[in-house]
Structures are given as structure tokens and as C-alpha cells.
Amino acid sequence: MDIGVVGTGYVGLVVGACLAETGNTVRCVDADGEKVARLRAGEIPIYEPGLEEMVPRNVAEERLDFTTDLESAVQASEVIFIAVGTPQDEDGSADLRHVLEVAGGIGRAMNGDKIVVNKSTVPVGTAAKVREVVAALTTHRVSVVSNPEFLKEGTAVDDFLRPDRVVIGTDDPDVEAVMRRLYQPFVLTGKPIIVMDPASAELTKYAANALLASRISFMNEIANYCDKVGADVRSVRMGIGSDSRLGASFLFPGVGYGGSCFPKDVKALIRMGHEAETPMHVIEAVERTNEAQKSILVPRIARHLGGLEGKVVAIWGLAFKPRTDDMREAPAIAIIEGLLAAGATVRAYDPKAEEVARTLFGDRIVLCGRAYEAVRGADALVVVTEWNEFREPDFQKLKARMRHPALFDGRDIYNPQAVRDMGFHYEGIGRR
């Protein structure tokens, strides 16, 4: 099948590469000519495991191409995915400017009947808006499908190739048949293709992310209560997670969620509720809890050290999660800003996010090329992102390099008693 994908960010690049991997001819469009040139040369502008092998392979096989020419890509394609950003507007709503601009470009370029697929995360009713924009600019038939993505950064390629489910929002049986054919290679193990109306498909994405975010914020509140009463959140989590009605996923406490999806989608759903005069009280509480959780360790560090003025604090992990360099809404940002505001010097290390952090903080923090370099002379170490390389450090080596052996475990990856037995002051999130 001939496919067009507009946008080469996390979603668009993964969609294009994975569809090309199954034999489709895919043309990815981006307005940034420099980015297109880099992609054609096999240079991947984001860190996402699997893309570095998949993109050059499919470019070499001439199944995948990158271009700035939207018109030619539209005219050569049967199905066109819109995968551009929907940034958060000032009022918390999703900004559809880029989506509708692309819709206009598709409408002006159409040379025959087309299927336009909204892959971007968009509010309920966007499929109708896109169809209206395209239809006003062409006499050709256009069908607009809502096809939300459920990709997790760090495992996005695997999530696309082996999805839990595929959601297709369309009322047209012919369009449904095309979309089923496109996705059939990815559901050979029996995972479902779920077809529904476009509005329900659009809401499914927001509802899924809001529910996952709710589990995180709920468990963080339970962990904070554990700290007050001497309970151990790990035991509580096991007791909850063993219930078949609940399961163990997304019940790990920590310093809050971040990234490109949960924060933006939660805020957008809150705004959508207000616009429909249906306040989202639970979701609003989820957001408030998460924002507070991001900075919860800063006063604890200050209390233990007797203030932060003149102190050196090491940070391990800057990306919002492992296996990505994405720092959008990362808890590390709130922690670092809190430490700096209190007069601390921050030394930080992340395996992949150093350049992103340099853009965000400049010379306000010391970025280190190695984990143990970051802790040199530190009064405290804060583990913010649970990269695998942090899970089994040499604690004696760590202690020897620190001025004061204090470890604040923002992801509860260590055994508290074992760390204390090695001479550290240890504080986790909800751990006895």
C-alpha cells in the first residue's frame, strides 16, 4: 500500500518506519528540510530503541523516504496519516493549529479519493473538523479516521509491531476494510482490532492515559501516607496488585509522571470536561497530586542536610523515564529547579538526555559524562530516573566519592536496610 505520514516526531517516525517494515511504500513529510536531510542520511534525531536499525534499512530498500513536499506525498498515497504535534495551549487544551494546517494542505493537494488518518492525539470532534477542512478544498471524496496511538517512549517500535490493541474510529465499512488490511500484519497473535465511531476512538486515547496517570498519582498518595505512619508501600503495592481486578501495572510510587503524553493529555481532558460543563474532579486531583509529587524530595533533602545553601546535590537520571532522552515535564526539572532556588549546586548525569538538559539548564548545573563523576563531592544523591545502570551501583565506590553519604531514592529501586547497613542515610518514597 502507498502510505503518507505527515510529521516525523516520535509518533510519525515510528509509524512510518514500522509500516515500511511490513512492505508498504511510505513517504514521511516534514517541513524541516534539515531534519529531512538527516533522516535520509540515516541519522535519527531522537533516541528511540530500534529506529537506528529500522530507518536506514527501509530507506536502503526504497520502502521509506523523507520529503518536504506534502503535495507529492499526498498525491502518491492512498492513506495519509497526520502525526504532527498537538501542544498544550495556555488554557490546557490541545492546540490543533498544526493538525488543521496539514488538513488544508492535504485538501489542496488531493488528486483522487483519500483516507486521512488522525494519528495525533486530538480532542473529541477533531475528525469532523479535519474532514470539514479537507472537503472544503477538494471535490474528491475524503474519509477521516481516528486511529489513536498507544506508544510508550522507549518501547515505541515494539508497541507498534506488537500492539495490545488497534483502535479504528470510522463509520465507513469500506474504510474499515482498508485499515484492517493495513494493520493485519501486526495482530497475527490474535490481539484485537477494535472498530468504533471516531468520537469514541478520540476519547479512548485520553481516557486510557488519564486512567494510567490516576493509578500513578493514587499510589504516590498512598506512598506519602506510608511515610507518615511507618508502613511500607512495596508491601502495600504487592497486596493491591495481586488482586485480579486491579493488577500490578502502574502502581510503582515515585516522584511523579512526566513526558509528552500523560501531563498534556490529562490537562486536555480537564479542559474538554469544562468545555462540556462536566468537571473532571478525579482527573483534576490526579494532576494536582502529580505536580506536588515532583518536588516532594526537595524539602526532605533540605531537612536532612540542614538547608541547601552551599550544598552539592547529585542527580542520577534526567529523562522522564528510561530508554528515552525526552525531558518534557520530567520530574527532574522540578527537583533541579527547587534545589537551585534553595542555593544548592547540582551535578547531574543521564545516559541519553545530557544534550536536552544542556538546552534546558545551560550552565546553571554541572552535566557529567559518567555516573560516579556526578557524585564527586556531593552531600546527597537523588535517583530520579530508574535507568538499569543505576540499579546495582558499587556503593562503597559511591560512598568514597561523596562528601556526605545520603541517598534519596525517587524510584524505590534499592533495599533500604541494605543501603543503610553500608553507612548511607537512605530515604525512598513510602519505604520503611
Catalytic residues: 261
User: Helix, strand, coil shares of the chain as percentages rounded to 5?
Assistant: 45, 15, 40
Q: C-alpha angle with apex 255: 155 to 355, nearest 5 degrees?
A: 60
Q: What sections of 112-172 are H helices per DSSP?
A: 126-135, 156-161
Give the integer Cα–Cα distance in Å for 349 and 334.
Answer: 16
Q: C-alpha angle with apex 43: 25 to 326, nearest 5 degrees?
A: 100
Give the integer Cα–Cα distance in Å for 51 and 38.
Answer: 13
Q: What are phi and psi of 143, to 5 degrees?
A: -115, 130
Closest CA to 12 of 223, 129, 207, 160: 160
CA distances from 393 to 65, 232, 387 (A): 43, 23, 11
The answer to whether 83 and 5 are in contact (CB under 8 A) is yes
Element (H, E) at 406: strand 406-409
Give the integer Cα–Cα distance in Å for 37 and 8.
Answer: 12
Closest CA to 114 of 73, 78, 164, 87: 78
Pairing verdict, β 64-67 and 2-6: unpaired
Closest CA to 267 of 85, 90, 83: 90
Residue type, 89: D
What residues does 94 pair with on adjacent strands?
88
Grouping H, G, I as helix, E, B as strand and the rest as coil, residue 231 is coil
